Structures are given as structure tokens and as C-alpha cells.
Amino acid sequence: MAAPIDPRFVGKASAPLEVDVERGQIRRFAEAIGDADPIYRDEAAARAAGYPAIPAPPTFATSLRPNDVREGIDIDWKKLLHAEQSYRFARPLLAGDRITLVQRIAAIYEKAGKSGVMDFIVMETTGHDAGGALVYTATSTVVIKR
């Protein structure tokens, strides 16, 4: 039986990481999810739709991986499941964006379920653009069966 996740990790933040949003990465993401919209592949189509550059599909933000704030926390990955995910966008991500990512642990709690006690970790990731403006906030809740 795994130990509970230590709540003292709440507030822990990852070291900021700068990542570039590349058009090839957007195209491969659109291909993987099976979204055929040409605005994710063709700059002319993106401009015709009113975007200054190729935009990214909404959940593309997941492929911008921050330094993992769970580093150093003992987690049984076989027992971990993604429970909830949310995004708030100020604007869509665009090819050419340089985004600074920081991930924080927002909450750690346990809950008794049908199959026993489960541990929850809530992580919040922010993405700021080169001008310092917040582009999006992503919140992930993962559950670990004990």
C-alpha cells in the first residue's frame, strides 16, 4: 500500500521553463488528434481565418511541458489516473510564441472512494508570453489509488 502524499508539497513551484511554440509541433498535434482543419497546417488558411500566425488547437497547451513539479515526490505511476483538466485562455497559442511555464502544486487531499482511500494532487500551470502577458492557465487533477 502506497503512503499518502505529503501535504507540505502544496505551494511547491517548478523552475520556470521557456519553450517555443513551433508550427511543426502544432501540425503533428493536429494530426495525432485527427483534426483536419487547414488553419493548423497552412499559414494562408490561418491568416484568412483572422489569425496572425498558425494557431494551436485548444488542448495543444498540454504539449508545452513545464519542469514537472512532482519531481521528488514519491508517486506510484501505475496507480495514477488523470481525473480532471481545465484551461483558461486569454488568447490562443500561436506558432512563434515563446512561452514561460511555471507549474505549482495547488492542492493535495485524500478522499474515501468505493475502492478505498485515494490521493488527489491538483497542479496549476501558467503560460506567459515574451511580453509577460498571461496566455493560459491549465489546472490538472490526478488521482492515485492507495
Q: Which span sits near another protein by CB under 8 A: 37-45, 100-108, 113-121, 124-132?
A: 37-45
Helix runs in the chain, H state only: 23-33, 43-48
User: What is the C-alpha to C-alpha distance for residues 107 and 10, in angstroms, rounded to an integer?
Assistant: 6
Among 9, 62, 104, 117, binds another protein (CB under 8 A): 62
Contact 146, 91 (CB under 8 A): no
In this structure, how many other beta carbons lie within 10 angstroms of the beta carbon of residue 42? 14
Closest contact distance (angstroms) between CB of 40 and another protein is 9
The C-alpha cell 491538483 sits at 122
Site membership for another protein, residue 114 (CB under 8 A)? no
Phi, psi of 12 (to 5 degrees): -60, 135
Among 20, 79, 113, 133, binds another protein (CB under 8 A): 79
Residues near 92 by beta carbon (within 8 Å), at least 6 away in sequence: 51, 55, 56, 58
Q: Which span sits near another protein by CB under 8 A: 4-12, 30-38, 98-106, 120-128?
A: 30-38
Site membership for another protein, residue 47 (CB under 8 A)? no
Q: Which span sits near another protein by CB under 8 A: 7-15, 21-29, 96-104, 107-115?
A: 21-29
Binding site for another protein (CB under 8 A): 25, 28-29, 31-35, 37-39, 45, 49-51, 55-59, 62-63, 65, 77-89, 91-92
